[in-house]
Structure 1
Amino acid sequence: MTTTDLPTSAPYRELVDKNGRVYRVGESDIDIMGRKRKWMVILPWVGMMGISSAEYAFASAEDTLHQAHNWSSTSIYWMLTTWVFFQAAVAFPAGKLRESGKLPARWAMMLGAAGTFIGYLSLAYAPHVMLAVIGFGMFSGMGAGMVYATCVNMVGKWYPERKGGKTGFVNGGFAYGSVPFVFLFHGYMDGSNYQWVLVSAGLFLAGVVAYAGFFFKDPPKNWWPAEVDPLNPPADPRAARSLQKNPPAVKQMTPKEAWKTGRVAVMWVCLAFTSGVNIFGISFQVDIGESAGFAAGIVATAMSLKAIVNGTGRGVIGWLSDRYGRKQCLLFVCIVLGASQFGIIWSAEAKNLPLFLIFSAISGFGGGAIFPMFAAMTADYFGENHNASNYGMVYSSKLVSGLGAGMGSVAVTAWGLNGAFTLAGSLSFAAFFIALFLKAPGRDYKGRLVKPNPQPISREAE
């Protein structure tokens, strides 16, 4: 693949809809970056796969890290909590830097690749657990946060008319890209080979992230695909159905404006609960499986199945949300995620392996599907121009939900695995009731709508 530098800008017009939102039309994806916009789905998907193993396969490496370094299980779980904390913490500041132009998408991906390698190098050679917390928890976490935020927001900008399925597909790479490493870390890596396995994995994944990010390019602000009429129902039935169920934001809102609507806070709490349950499941799926007497290979299979369904479920729910609406699908996912936690308890107590695998897969689907819903919903509610910062505010809820690993170990110690999984299921049901209050700002309060502009603006690019 090569990058084509275009010597001149293509002409464009700016159209204004009845709510005052501006659409920049006329430039094709080829005009802007020299290739089809589908590459801004494929490459972010590859980049997301490059960072996925740090979270989803980490639990599979716990036993080896414990034996090799003599680190306690509690320290290792808090290491993952630190990783999640910094992954979420970097989202908003990185988004602000991206939107200001100080941090181009390509450089955000390069920094993410460097953080990925530092993380695996720390797990392999850190002489003390605190150095591993800094190297893996902080640097790898921040690197993954930059990659995650850049990839998710990139696809939303290039597909503003049909972002659900595309966002879900890209988001899915964050889960099933870890599948080979679940087996590698759990079934092959041991105290005799862990260093070269970890370093080799780090080099490979950092290279994947860097290569994918090298070709990243943002569209201009307010860009809209020329083949889709933003002021009239599009001819493409897929785009028409998606815009009907998930209409574009009434305006491009800054983070301050988005926060004042009150929707960011509601989304923040809802995502904190559901993503906390997801992280808890990733951390303790192995433990509850082993407590039921299932073989280590079977537990690894359950984790892999969970990761696969977690990833594919993100794409499926994104596609469904284009057809049936983002909020409706979010409510469904909350119920599925909550019910599956009780299913895991039941199947483990009954020592029923088929049911355990089924409920693990269902839990993986629910835990993964929440993320593309909030990513797409943020752009639907507040627009694409400031989506990196706006979604950074929402995604920062993982600062709290990251405690699903560390605090999960505390809950397991206090109440046992059944009690901890019961709490997780209850939090998912609570998120369902919180999500009922979500409504697109400006569409339910007539006083907030901007008066229509009967004379759309049109001009040529200079």
Structure 2
Amino acid sequence: MTATDLSTSVPYREVTDANGRVYRVGETDIDILGRKRKWMVILPWVGMMGISSAEYAFASAEDTLHTAHDWNSLHIFWMMTVWVFFQAAVAFPAGRLRESGRLPARWAMMIGASGTFMGYLSLALAPHVVFAYIGFSVLSGMGAGMVYATCVNMVGKWYPERRGGKTGFVNGGFAYGSVPFVFLLTGYMDLTNYRWVLLSVGVLLAAMVAFAGSFFKDPPKNWWPANVDPLNPPEDPRARRSLEKNPPAVKQYTPLEAWRTGRVALMWFCLACTSGVNIFGIAFQVDIGEEAGFAGGIVAAAMSLKALVNGSGRGVIGWLSDRYGRKQCLLAVCAILGCAQFGILWSAEARNLPLFLIFSAISGFGGGAIFPMFAALTADYFGENNNATNYGMVYSSKLVSGLGAGMGAVVVGAWGHSGAFVLAGCISFFAGFIALFLSQPGRPKSRDIQPNPQPLGEEMA
């Protein structure tokens, strides 16, 4: 990967569409980056894989950490809950700093890499559970949130004409990047080696994040690919189909303007519900599998399959949303996620291992696919210029959905796994119902457009 230094600035022009939105055209990706913009998909994908194991593989290390440090099992679930809280909490302020120019993308990634290492360091060496909460839940959570917000928004800025598949691909690294570490933490790590295993993993993942982030660069405000005409249907059939199904925002909304449309609140609520169900499944699928009598290795395989499908499904649903529309795919995902919770419960109660694996994979697909949908919808509805801040508002719903692990433990204790999984399925269906009310602000609905009562020419007769 080589870069080309530009000695002179490249001329550009600004064009305005019928809605008053401004597009900056004329500069190519190579003019700005010195390399193809595909690297702003590959590198964010690597960065996302570097933070994935903290959420998706952490539950796999529960038994070893519980025994090694003599921590109460509830501490393990609440550590994950607090981690998710801080991962979501940092999204909005980080977005504000990024969009203001006070926090360059490269520095955001370096901070994230440091937090990633501190998380594993505290799990390995914490003399008391409080230090684990500070190092893993707080510092690692904030670092992961910094990386997540930076990577997801980076790819959306560089691919404004067909962001769905690209955003889904990058987002997928946050899930299937953890698969090797699920096996490592369940099949290899034990009381004799857990310290050096955790430290080694921390160093490796922090290095991945730092390396990827060192090449990050944002495009200029209002940038649009030079080979895609923003005022006319593009020649590229993929871009043309994507823009027909998911037209660009009518203007660049500020965070306050975006909030006033009411769409941010709807998206916040839907994401809170669905991501809460996803986190609940990550935390308790191992437990319900072991309760059903499945062997520990099989349950670990189910979790790995869930993480793999969770990640790869994000790219698939992103590609499908470019073809069939973001909202339509979101509704389908909510229904799939809800059905999967009932399927996991039914297969576990029936002690049917093949069905348990199948529904685990389906649940992984639904739980992962929601995230690229909301990331792409935010840019589709409100534009790219303030996307880091606007998506930070939507993504902050994980402040609530992170309770899916901690509160899930409370619900399981009161109602058992049956009641908890039934509740999770119903919450997913309700989120789908709320998503029916989503629509792009500022663009008239087709049913509101009245036909001309006088066909062309009659008004001149």
Bin for the TM-score computed over the shorter chain: over 0.9
Counterparts of residues 131-146 of structure 1 (less than 5 Å): 131-146=131-146
Instruction: Show CA shifts across 1:254-293 (max 9, x none).
Output: 0000000000000000000000000000000100000000
3-state SS of 1:442 partner: coil
* Cα shift at 1:234: 0.2
Q: Which residue of 2 aligns with 1:457?
A: none
Looking at structure 2, the residues matched to 73 and 163 of structure 1 have their Cα atoms a distance apart, in angstroms, of: 41
Write the distance in 1 (CA, Å) between the matches of 2:403 and 2:376: 25
Which position in structure 2 is the counterpart of 1:456? Answer: none
2:99 — aligned with what? 99
**Contact 1:3–1:215 at 8 Å: present in 2 too?**
no
After superposition, give the CA deviation of every residue in 1:326-345 in whole Å (9 maximum; x if it has no partner): 00000000000000000000
Partner of 2:277: 277
Hey, which bits of structure 1, 4+ residues long, moved more than 6 A?
Answer: none
For 1:22, give the aligned amino acid: V
Task: Report the counterpart of residue 11 of structure 2 in structure 1.
Answer: 11
Shift of 1:348: 0.2
Tell me the distance in 2 between the aligned counterparts of 1:58 and 1:348.
22
Instruction: Report the residue type matching 2:326 in the other structure.
Output: R
User: Take 1:150 and 1:99, find their aligned partners in 2: how far apart are those partners?
Assistant: 11
State the partner residue of 1:233. Answer: 233
Alignment partner, residue 404 of structure 1? 404
Give the TM-score, by structure 2 length: 0.96
Equivalence for 2:454: none
Local SS of the residue matching 1:351: coil
**Structure 1 residue 2 displacement after superposition:** 3.5
Aligned-pair distance for 1:187?
1.1
Q: Distance in 2 between matches of 1:295 and 1:237?
A: 49
Q: Residue 53 of structure 1 corresponds to which residue in structure 2?
A: 53
Aligned residue in 1 for 2:210? 210
* Aligned equivalents of 1:184, 1:282: Cα separation in 2: 17
Aligned residue identity for 1:193 = N
Contact 1:306 1:364 in 2 (8 A): yes
- Encode CA deviations 1:2-23: one digit per residue, 9 max, x unaligned: 3333222110010000000000
Secondary structure at the residue paired with 2:15? strand
Q: Which residue number in structure 2 is paired with residue 438 of structure 1?
A: 438
1:445 Cα deviation after fit: 6.9
Identify the residue that residue 69 of structure 2 maps to in structure 1.
69
| Partners of 1:323 and 1:261 in 2: CA distance | 26
What is the CA–CA distance in structure 1 between the aligned matches of 2:126 and 2:201, rounded to whole Å? Answer: 16
Distance (whole Å) between structure 2 residues aligned to residue 191 and residue 8 of structure 1: 59
Deviation at 1:130, TM superposition (A): 1.1
* 1:167 maps onto 2:167 in alignment: yes
SS for the counterpart of 1:15 is: strand
Quote the sequence identity (%).
81
Letter in 2 for 1:280: F
Q: Which amino acid aligns with 1:433?
A: F
| DSSP 3-state at the match of 1:14 | strand
Counterpart residue identity of residue 122, structure 1: S
Structure-2 separation of matches of 1:353 and 1:23: 54
1:290 aligns with 2:290: yes
State the distance in 2 between where 1:286 and 1:320 align.
Answer: 30
Instruction: Give, as a single letter, the amino acid of the residue that structure 2 aligns with 1:404.
Output: G
- Using the alignment, how far apart are the partners of 1:395 and 1:419 within structure 2? 27
Task: Tell me the number of residue pairs that the alignment of Structure 1 and Structure 2 aligns.
Answer: 448
CA distance in 2, matches of 1:2, 1:112: 25
Aligned partners of 2:6, 2:306: CA distance in 1, in Å? 44
SS at match of 2:183: helix
TM-score, normalised with respect to structure 1: 0.96
The aligned residue for residue 306 of structure 1 is 306
Quote how far apart the aligned CAs of 1:183 are.
0.4
